[in-house]
Structure 1
Amino acid sequence: MTIEESKEYVGIWVTEDGNIRHELSPNNRYDEARGTRKSAYQGVYKVSGNHIDYKDDTGFTADGEFRNGILYHAGMVLYKEI
Structure 2
Amino acid sequence: MWVTADGHIRRELRADGRCDEARGHRRSASTGRYTVTGSQVDYVDDSGFTATGDIRDGVLNDEHLVLHREEKQA
Query: Is this a same-fold pair by TM over 0.5?
Result: yes
Is 1:67 the equivalent of 2:34? Answer: no
- % identical equivalent positions: 52
Query: What TM-score do the two structures reach when normalised by structure 1?
Result: 0.85
Residue of structure 2 equivalent to 1:45: 34
Displaced runs of 4 or more, over 6 A: none
Query: What TM-score do the two structures reach when normalised by structure 2?
Result: 0.94
Letter in 1 for 2:70: E
1:72, 1:63 → 2: CA distance? 9
Letter in 2 for 1:38: R
Task: Give the number of the structure whose residues are more often helix, by fraction.
Answer: 1
2:8, 2:52 → 1: CA distance? 19
Structure 1 position 46, deviation (Å): 0.2
Q: Which runs of 5+ in 1 are unaligned?
A: 1-11
SS at match of 1:59: coil
Q: Which runs of 5+ in 2 are unaligned?
A: none
1:24 to 13, 34, 38: 13
Structure 1 position 74, deviation (Å): 1.5
